[in-house]
Chains A and B, each alone.
Chain A
């Protein structure tokens, strides 16, 4: 099976711009989660989508949004970029995120966003 893919891998934007990142899950996986990783804060959960619906959301401002398509591919969008949004954005897919005892997550390679 092909792994989780994320595009683009690297991105440079300036403050005030917006950005859209894409994640294609492993075939058959219906849950996609997004995470932000910064040197200071480590990994932080952004949100999770399952069957085109946002099921869980972390503590991020409304500038961070996402969506999931019928083929389970997901996009996340960050509007009005700030310097502090510079980070590695990771997505992960799983069959069904509910029921941690039996689920495994598979992570993509990440998109490194730099905001200048």
Chain B
């Protein structure tokens, strides 16, 4: 079993829909990251969380440390949100990142 699991693996949506991507992990962590990767490879760091909730524009990320679970929400989705969204965790006392396998999101007009 992977230490970081994401669901769903693939997601399609119509423009305007509310989207949720989930991430569960099995190790103790000091931080969790949500990353966005567009076709072509470039990765953008969206959020880094250690507790609670963060919001940036139409993106909201939440984390529940006790349940070892995080969600990434996209409100009013747009075709430009089409990308792979990757969850990554930083385990306690390490400088390494453990990545989920990503969620491929396609938003259609």
* Residues in chain A within 8 A of chain B (CB atoms): 37, 41-45, 48, 55-56, 58, 88, 90, 92, 97-98, 100-101, 104-110, 112
Contacts and interface: CB of A to CB of B under 8 A. Distances in A.
Interface stretch (B19-27, B54-62, B74-82, B99-107): B99-107
Contacts of A55: 95
Contacts, number: 56
Contact of B41 (A48, A104, A105, A112): A112
B65 interface: no
B96 A58 contact: yes
A15 B31 CA distance: 39
Interface in B44-75: 44-45, 48, 50
A62 B80 CA distance: 40
A110 B97 CA distance: 18
A48 B86 contact: no
Contacts of A44: 99
A110 B96 contact: no
Contacts of B45: 104-107
